[in-house]
Amino acid sequence: MQTAIHTTARNAILTLMLTLLAGVASAQVSFWQNEWPKTDFAKKSVDFIEIMSGGPPKDGIPAVDNPKFIKVASETRLDPREPVITLEMPGQTPRAYPLRYLMWHEIVNDRIGGRPVTVTYCPLCNSAIVFDGRLDGQELTFGVTGKLRNSDMIMYDRQTESWWQQALGEGIVGDMTGKRLKRIVSWMESWETYSKRNPGGLVMDQPGSSRPYGRNPYVGYDGAPRPFLYSGENPPHGIHPLMRVVAVGDRAWPMDRLRKEGEIREAGLTITWKDGQASALDTARIGEGRDVGMIRVRDAQGRDVVHDVMFAFAFHAFFPDGKWMLGN
């Protein structure tokens, strides 16, 4: 009898909680529609309760469009160990996108050889991914919604104002729900490493916005005990949530293992670690951050492979059944 009563009570409480959550989500959508009248909120692949404000409004973090570039030899502002996102596309002059700019803009909409390219960086997840802006016969450009899911940036495309999960390149709200952007091979490395390998290359010039470029607004973040604005599970195996991991598909290699071994050959890949790159999320001045090293991921033919160096909590959030490559 008591068991039946307890079960009934639990079910009543669960029903009440679900009703309250549904009410909160409905209120959220009503509020969002004022700011996003073109977004079709009837189309979605995630629960709205998972989406939260990161603080800034739509375009409060302004994406950079049509960035200007200068020659490597002309760049004098970057510290040697400062991280840059490198693009070395076949037949094109190499380009570097310094994190000192992406830290404040998060998205750069560029064109390379007539091809739309979107460079993204989410500081809260340390996720740096480059996307092809072409999808289903149209070209997309992106902005920052100011919203987060699992502490990861939600982007929007300006053509349909659909919302996209940056860590996955997947549409989650609006007309583009379920669509996937193609990722372009890129990697993060120090300015010194890039410039020495590409003396004839290009580097993104400082945007015209008034921002303290070169400064880190998230001082000490990657040494914090917990991620910011994240309430999900911690990674398994005792891995610190803010440990960097090399994510290739649904596999993740912890950075401390790579630092220790230097080179790992697994799953048809060769992953190498080399020192010399500063953390952009440590000290106030980006170029003075502690050394977190640089990663290259290549296949059996020596070709660079699409990957991301993200925080462990983000990998676990988006790949809950992912495989952790811990070695012996």
- Mean pLDDT calculated for residue range 68-96: 98
Place of tokens 């639990």: 10
Terminal-to-terminal C-alpha distance of the chain: 52
Q: How confident is the model at residue 9 (pLDDT cuts 50, 70, 90)?
A: low
In the predicted model, what is the mean pLDDT of the chain?
93
According to the model, what pLDDT value does residue 101 have? 98
CA of 17: how far to CAs of 12, 90, 94, 149, 186, in Å?
9, 54, 53, 21, 44
According to the model, what pLDDT value does residue 11 have? 58
The structure tokens listed for 46 are: 């995630």
Q: How confident is the model at residue 22 (pLDDT cuts 50, 70, 90)?
A: very low
Evaluate if residue 4 carries a pLDDT over 70: no
Evaluate if residue 20 carries a pLDDT over 70: no
According to the model, what pLDDT value does residue 328 have? 77
Domain boundaries, the chain: 53-204, 221-324
Q: How confident is the model at residue 19 (pLDDT cuts 50, 70, 90)?
A: very low
pLDDT tens-place string over residues 192-245: 999 999 999 999 999 999 999 999 999 999 999 999 999 999 999 999 999 999
According to the model, what pLDDT value does residue 211 have? 96
Burial of 192 (0-12, 13-18, 19+ CB in 10 A): middle
Evaluate if residue 127 carries a pLDDT over 70: yes
Evaluate if residue 8 carries a pLDDT over 90: no
Beta pairing class for 187-190 and 83-87: antiparallel
Place of tokens 């991921």: 297
Report the distance separating Cα 39 and Cα 21, nearest Å.
22
According to the model, what pLDDT value does residue 3 have? 55
According to the model, what pLDDT value does residue 27 have? 67
According to the model, what pLDDT value does residue 28 have? 82
304: Cβ contacts below 8 Å, ≥ 6 apart: 88, 185, 187, 296, 297, 298
Report the distance separating Cα 72 and Cα 86, nearest Å.
13
According to the model, what pLDDT value does residue 65 have? 98
Residue type, 165: Q
Evaluate if residue 177 carries a pLDDT over 50: yes
Beta-sheet strand order (sheet of 269-274): 263-266, 269-274, 294-299
Evaluate if residue 253 carries a pLDDT over 50: yes
Q: How confident is the model at residue 31 (pLDDT cuts 50, 70, 90)?
A: confident
- Give the CA-trace dihedral at 190, 192, 194, 198, to 10 degrees: 180
pLDDT tens-place string over residues 240-251: 999 999 999 999
